[in-house]
A and B are shown apart, each in its own frame.
Chain A
């Protein structure tokens, strides 16, 4: 039985149906990625799962408890990082975490440990308002990490960050997964999803249109594999990587028109575009 479960979740805002019967089951210790373009309902789903919003229909459970009924005794087991969760800008980095430590009754010695983990130890006395965007993101991430939760919900944790900072955050998350934490993350960054997630779900127009292990999803859509050819005159040509292209390829080879040939494997971006007609980041 999953540690995070959603069954036929529906949600509308006025006339607009944002989620239309979303279901999944996430096992303990898994990193599960929800991919979809902006406005596809990812944040709404996190809010429903964490009890910030009520679903119009369906059921969601965390740790075997209905999302809306999670009591204080289980709150510390669930860490949430969302962009809209503010930080106390006048307080230092250290004091921001002190607030959380006081709320959850966590030993203050853990604060320095957590700050070292996310690379903010040197900035612990800096007012949070003076941090760069990347450092603020790390501070937001450090709050659920301090709780040492069983489940973490991360809403686009690396959105807008430089690749180096994003990599550091990925390292921290992979360490948490190793320690047994279940991570539910939303992203529209396919590289992040491929690198981090054990399983992903592609969300489009309020429905999960594909779910599974990233590599397997790509293999499933092997028909999208292409041959990219650069011709001797400098122009480029793309052919499907199947038998139907053999004659054309042979002809070009005979005529000596080919400069280079390489194949391109389908990735999550191409799969998503093929399935929905939309790009992920849009």
Chain B
């Protein structure tokens, strides 16, 4: 536990000094607050911006940050320093993962508070979205582990991020795309949190999140077995 907390603290200090990473965490919560307060179009679905940007946040932030942090530490040799100091690979990933999860949870809490949801709906919103964050983080970890450098990790992470972030929004314009999007966990979360505003939650959508969780765990296990952490 001491190692996990040491990694958590290290990452907290490092993120404050890293504007590129910091912006990933704060961009969408700020955009949601700004758009909700500035744009008021009649007949716009309730919490439209909140839902749309939340899904983008889940598909982008944990995935990109996890892949970026792990691959940067590999590239710069700081990961080797940690491992040779007795940190085991899972403590390292848990420390980084916990940090990203905590910051995303804070961001999503701000979003849900300003979204005006009831207490029960807020709890459901956080449960749905944070489970999506976990899926994104594991996918980001798999990418970070599999790539030797930060730039090559970003080369792989960005297409995944684009698909998972934008597919739910784009599928509103095309039915065929919606069929494909049905396999994406972010689409499932999009449907779940959209239902919160109308009391029509279709819990079946959570199955795709669970299936995605097992799929990314398997992907991580394969990449870790093949590459190790270094």
Stretch at the interface among B8-16, B164-172, B183-191, B196-204: B8-16
Task: Judge whether B86 and A102 touch: CB under 8 Å.
Answer: no
Task: Judge whether B6 and A102 touch: CB under 8 Å.
Answer: yes
**Neighbour of A88 across the interface among B2, B10, B87, CB < 8 A:** B10
Query: Which of B5, B9, B73, B78: most chain A Cβ within 10 A?
Result: B78
Chain A, 56-88, contact with B by CB distance < 8 Å: what is the 0/1 string? 000000000000000010011000101011111
A99 within 8 A of partner (CB): yes
**Main SS class of interface, B:** helix
Known: A89-B76, A95-B13. A143 touches B6 (CB 8 A): no
Q: Which residues of B contact A75 (CB under 8 A)?
A: 85-86
Within 8 A of B (CB), among A209-246: none
Q: Which residues of A contact B14 (CB under 8 A)?
A: 88, 90-91
A249 within 8 A of partner (CB): no
Task: Judge whether B77 and A85 touch: CB under 8 Å.
Answer: yes
Known: A85-B77, A87-B78, A103-B6. A127 touches B17 (CB 8 A): yes
Chain A, 28-58, contact with B by CB distance < 8 Å: what is the 0/1 string? 0000000000000000000000101000000
Q: Which residues of A contact B174 (CB under 8 A)?
A: none
Complexed CA–CA distance, A176 and B134 (Å): 46
**Neighbour of B84 across the interface among A80, A90, A91, A102, CB < 8 A:** A80
Q: Which residues of A contact B6 (CB under 8 A)?
A: 99, 102-103
What is A's interface to B at a CB cutoff of 8 Å? 50, 52, 72, 75-76, 80, 82, 84-91, 95, 98-100, 102-105, 127, 143
What are 12 residue pairs bridging A and B, where the CB atoms are less than 8 Å apart in the complex? A75-B85, A85-B77, A85-B80, A85-B81, A86-B77, A86-B79, A86-B80, A89-B76, A98-B13, A103-B82, A103-B86, A104-B85
**Smallest CB-CB A-B distances: 4 pairs:** A86-B77, A102-B6, A75-B86, A86-B78
